[in-house]
């Protein structure tokens, strides 16, 4: 198999299994699963087990000049119970996989881009030949300057439901109108929430005259968003982005988000759209589920202090994962 650059692909030899994932996180594959897939685990040298995949963090760039991998890249994995070179049904291989959507943090800004072409990213499994890459322990070469007990949890709400132009890549989310209702509410579980949050918003409207929206979180953080008329006729059709807002509200284990479209009461055909909202909620650094992917915007070298009951956890360095 030769790619467009005239280079050979790793896929040209060996047996391969394709695995689809829908969100970023740490994935586990045990020997029993491999056996169910038809892999003769008793004949496989566990040290040659490999996972390939390109963590391109979202959609491939449209610009040709931006560098991107031409072939599959091998990922480092953690093998538990396979040190003897034999894969038993209870042995587990762990690896971090990047989902189909883009999520980045640039300084204190959250950058998110949904993948409008696919809801699945793919990784490839093979074995044989040379030894596979394994996760390495990293030792700190200098002391930390601060202790961190909180992290920023990204909460993403950006459904792709409506395309006003019936063309292009611009999609909008929740529709607010006389027929669908002018208010929408959303709830998010945030155990250990400290009360600090950051908010980014996008709204759109089709309306006679200026259009506005009221947005709130737990009825404490409140803001009004206005989209001004954009032509001499006073008709609004367009989108606008707002944020980042920073706020401190009461600590809680839940966030309730409300948005209301304020239409002209004399123009029942006005339509508002919630394009998206992103919330970075500061939460206590605790393990609430089977895994915790955390981020903290600081330039200082930090010690992340986990609860004492989390001392059996392993830690991978990776990108954070959005929640919806």
Domain holding 162: CATH number? 2.60.120
pLDDT at residue number 321: 45
| Same-domain check for residues 247 and 204 | yes
| Same-domain check for residues 252 and 174 | yes
| Structural domain boundaries, residue 218 | 152-283
Using pLDDT thresholds of 50, 70 and 90, give the confidence band for residue 232. Answer: low
pLDDT at residue number 67: 79
E strand or H helix that includes residue 36: helix 31-36
Distance CA 110, CA 280 (A): 8
| Same-domain check for residues 160 and 91 | no
Domain total in the chain: 2
Secondary structure of the chain: what % helix, strand, coil (to 5)? 5, 45, 50
Q: What angle do CA 36, 37, 39 make, to 5 degrees?
A: 100
Residue 20 lies in a domain: yes
| Same-domain check for residues 108 and 168 | no
Residue of higher predicted confidence among 221 and 291:
221
Residue 146 lies in a domain: no
Per-residue pLDDT tens digits for 197-213:
999 999 988 887 778 99
| Same-domain check for residues 278 and 156 | yes
Residue 305 lies in a domain: no
Residue 134 lies in a domain: no
Q: What is the 3-state secondary structure (H, E, C) of 274-323?
A: EEEEEEEEEEECCCCCCCCCCCCCCCCCEEECCCHHHCCCCCCCCCCCCE
pLDDT at residue number 267: 78
Alpha carbon dihedral 72, 34, 96, 307, in 10-degree steps, equals: -170
For residue 226, give the nearest of 245, 244, 207 by alpha carbon: 207
For residue 152, give the nearest of 198, 191, 106 by alpha carbon: 198
Peptide bond into 131 cis (omega under 30): no
Residues 6+ away with beta carbon under 8 Å from 133? 50, 74, 75, 76, 77
Q: Please report, rounded to a whole number, the percentage of residues in the chain having pLDDT higher than 90.
A: 46
Supply the mean pLDDT for the chain: 84
| Same-domain check for residues 178 and 116 | no
Residue 117 lies in a domain: yes
- Domain final residue, candidates 71, 91, 126: 126
20: DSSP letter = E
Residue 177 lies in a domain: yes
Residue 315 lies in a domain: no
| Same-domain check for residues 78 and 199 | no
């Amino acid at each position: 198999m030769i790619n467009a650059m005239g280079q050979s692909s790793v896929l040209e030899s060996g047996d391969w299994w394709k695995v689809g994932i829908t969100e970023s996180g740490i994935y586990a594959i045990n020997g029993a699963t491999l056996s169910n897939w038809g892999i003769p685990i008793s004949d496989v040298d566990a040290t040659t087990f490999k996972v390939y995949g390109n963590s391109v963090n979202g959609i491939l760039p449209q610009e040709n000049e931006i560098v991107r991998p031409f072939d599959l890249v091998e990922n480092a994995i953690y093998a538990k119970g396979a040190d003897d070179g034999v894969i038993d049904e209870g042995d587990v291989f762990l690896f971090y996989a990047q989902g189909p959507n883009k999520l980045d943090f640039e300084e204190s800004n959250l950058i998110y881009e949904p993948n409008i072409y696919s809801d699945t990213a793919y990784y490839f499994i093979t074995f044989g030949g040379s030894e596979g890459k394994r996760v390495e322990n990293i030792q700190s070469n200098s002391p930390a300057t601060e202790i961190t007990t909180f992290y920023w949890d990204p909460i993403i709400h950006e459904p792709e439901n409506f395309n006003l132009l019936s063309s292009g890549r611009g999609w909008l989310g929740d529709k607010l109108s006389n027929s669908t209702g002018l208010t929408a509410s959303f709830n998010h579980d945030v155990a250990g929430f400290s009360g600090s949050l950051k908010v980014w918003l996008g709204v759109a409207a089709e309306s006679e005259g200026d259009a506005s929206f009221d947005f709130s979180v737990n009825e404490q953080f409140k803001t009004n968003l206005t989209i001004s008329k954009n032509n001499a006729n006073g008709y609004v059709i367009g989108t606008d982005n707002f944020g980042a807002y920073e706020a401190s509200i009461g600590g809680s284990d839940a966030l309730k988000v409300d948005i209301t479209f304020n239409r002209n009461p004399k123009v029942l055909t006005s339509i508002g759209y919630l394009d998206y909202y992103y919330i970075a909620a500061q939460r206590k650094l605790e393990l609430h589920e089977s895994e915790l992917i955390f981020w903290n915007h600081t330039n200082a070298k930090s010690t992340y202090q986990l609860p004492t009951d989390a001392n059996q956890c392993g830690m991978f360095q990776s990108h954070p994962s959005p929640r919806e």
